[in-house]
Structure 1
């Protein structure tokens, strides 16, 4: 448990209210899941076998309880309690959606501009400006890290205001304008959320 001073608490509450308004506006239902679970939950996930000796746990009514594993989707347990259709589950686009990869350091500024445009369009975007990796290694690292889309930008793309689209499945979709790419990704997300 962390302590929040007045300003931080105000910001936290304002953000929470904003998120709740967005849920309502977009037709989502808010759920709240606990942070302490029966150890059977961790056993099912495979966490208990590996981390039990380093996990704080407490016995309550002859059952062992422990904190929820970090990033464990606790809300999935609610689906165990009544029949549900997979159609009710929204598409969860991975947090690692887009990686911008500049070909060389002279393209870093353009890559930053591209990242900002995608962030403005509400996509999760990272950028790989590691000068120690080759272009192929950067693309491969992004694929292994499960980025769905890798946007390669070099001098050619910088001059023409485009990006070269690669996907996690090792396909190259070619050069497209930034606005076309954003529109394509937004349509892709919308088609999966219907």
Structure 2
């Protein structure tokens, strides 16, 4: 994966910040595309996004119980006479938000999502590329709900196989873990859904029930992708650099043929970029057409648009895939419509 990240200029690590990833523009595109995907699902499923601080007084972590059990894995900052810690998770902050006013049963479930940066002081020997880092981001969310809105009923409606593992619950309470395997057969825990009875008690969270009495909410911690960094590592291994179009950091390479076509080629690139596509142009006059096409294929551009005098005159592009298949001459408007459909459907297909 390290070779892939260097070849495609996705990300790198540096000793000045051990265990923290530097995402280059193309890597940031993958990172942001995954984030945008999850945010689009949030809007469909009733989640609201919140923004919370990164640095908190240790009094918060003592209240939540994390200081007692997790302090050795937290980065601390001392500003006399106070000690602060970088957050390794978002849940205590969301509890603070819940308690800002009296909540009603009519509001529940409340679904809050948070993409804040998290820091965990992993031992240097445990660090491993993007799969184990010190600075990371989760598609993290917390659901505050009533005891009647619970996990088991959801699992019973789930049509796929699942197994009960008694006694394997974490500190907070029962949880659902989803394990996936990467291209090398390694198993990773990414998605997790976990009940929490502890934090609502520690923060004395309450809501007013239909009968006017005060009740304790249940808190559910959930992430689908899990760590974005770890998910990118898994996807990189899976696709081996041949990213599907919707996720690809190198979607289209425009190749002009002849000096007169360069202006049109630039216009095509501008149209593509304005529509949000990752497009570049190879205007090196010293390279042959075959060399330009080969270079674009090696760089894993999903599509290569060749434009010459004929394409300039007709407002078209000649389309090739990175696998070498020629899809023929198409109008730019038609191609952009097809590309947009591929992006929206998140299809893995190659043909337009």
Q: TM-score, normalised by structure 2?
A: 0.36
Q: 1:184 to 1:43 in 2, by over 3 A?
A: closer
Separation (CA, whole Å) in 2 of partners of 1:66 and 1:75: 10
Q: 1:111 to 1:27 in 2, by over 3 A?
A: same
| 1:157 paired residue number | 311
Q: CA RMSD in A?
A: 3.8
| 1:179 paired residue number | 333
SS at match of 1:26: helix
| 1:131 paired residue number | 285
Structure 1 position 118 matched with structure 2 position 202: no
Segments ≥4 residues shifted beyond 6 Å: 65-68, 76-79
Deviation of 1:80 after TM superposition, in Å, equals 2.5
Decide which structure has greater helix share.
Answer: 1
How many pairs were matched up? 148
**Aligned residues of 2:115 and 2:138 also touching (Cα < 8 A):** no
**Aligned residues of 2:190 and 2:224 also touching (Cα < 8 A):** no
Deviation of 1:41 after TM superposition, in Å, equals 3.2
Q: 1:25 to 1:137 in 2, by over 3 A?
A: same
Separation (CA, whole Å) in 2 of partners of 1:180 and 1:153: 15
Q: 1:158 to 1:66 in 2, by over 3 A?
A: same
Question: 1:51-130 counterparts in 2 under 5 A?
Answer: 74-75=136-137, 80=189, 82-83=191-192, 93-130=247-284
Deviation of 1:85 after TM superposition, in Å, equals 7.5
**Deviation sequence 1:57-111 (CA, Å, 0-9, x none):** xxxxxxxx9876xxxxx5589972545888xx89752111111100122211000
Separation (CA, whole Å) in 2 of partners of 1:189 and 1:158: 26
Separation (CA, whole Å) in 2 of partners of 1:168 and 1:76: 32
| 1:31 paired residue number | 115
Deviation of 1:149 after TM superposition, in Å, equals 0.8
Separation (CA, whole Å) in 2 of partners of 1:132 and 1:97: 24
| 1:188 paired residue number | 342
Structure 1 position 166 matched with structure 2 position 180: no
**Aligned residues of 1:38 and 1:66 also touching (Cα < 8 A):** no
SS at match of 2:127: helix
**Deviation sequence 1:22-71 (CA, Å, 0-9, x none):** 959734565344477654333676xxxxxxxxxxxxxxxxxxx9876xxx
Q: 1:147 to 1:75 in 2, by over 3 A?
A: farther
| 2:128 paired residue number | 42
Separation (CA, whole Å) in 1 of partners of 2:299 and 2:305: 14
Deviation of 1:141 after TM superposition, in Å, equals 0.3
SS at match of 2:301: coil
SS at match of 2:297: helix
